[in-house]
Structure 1
Amino acid sequence: MINMKVLDYRITSDSQQVIVKKVRRNERGKISMTTDKDGNSSETVSLVGCFGNLSRALVGIQRDYVLSSDTQIETIKDYRKSLETITTVVENEMNLGEEF
């Protein structure tokens, strides 16, 4: 079972898929928390996607990162830089040792 955190992305798995979620942040940049009826709190997340394997999940993270409203892209050069940034972070965090 996969249970990873990379930046604001939460990557988990079950027996059939890899699930990627992204935490939501409030206007001050703090991670939003939700409390259930039993008083347990957890991060507020939104679904990025469900993928067949980890490599496809990583492509989904790249796509979400460059298309999110947090990333300002005005040129192809900006797009490439953003894509390289998230790819480097994910590779370093996961220490895959392989390209995806």
Structure 2
Amino acid sequence: MIKLFCGILAVAMMAGIATSAAEPVGIEVRKRSAIGRLGLVRVQVAVKTEADGSLVVSFQAPEAGTYVLNYTSGPAKGKVATAVRVEKAGPVTTKIKSRP
């Protein structure tokens, strides 16, 4: 009976580890205003993971300006991933290198 319980517990722990390892990276887009404040931009963000571990992030910029991409999940949650300067409204794609 104890072996059965330990076996079930081991399988449950492995399943929990496997699901947490597949957590996608979350990115949010913020726009820097003229006075330097960051305001949240409501756009759909597409994040694709490359083979080398880097991320390709795409979104539709509503207007020109500086956009800051922040991590919303993982160990770097809340930290700046990159800043992108956009000259005119339209599609934006940028590559973020993986953290060491």
Greater strand percent: which structure?
2
TM-score, normalised by the number of residues in structure 1: 0.29
Greater helix percent: which structure?
1
TM-score, normalised by the number of residues in structure 2: 0.29
- Which protein is bigger by CA-based radius of gyration? 2
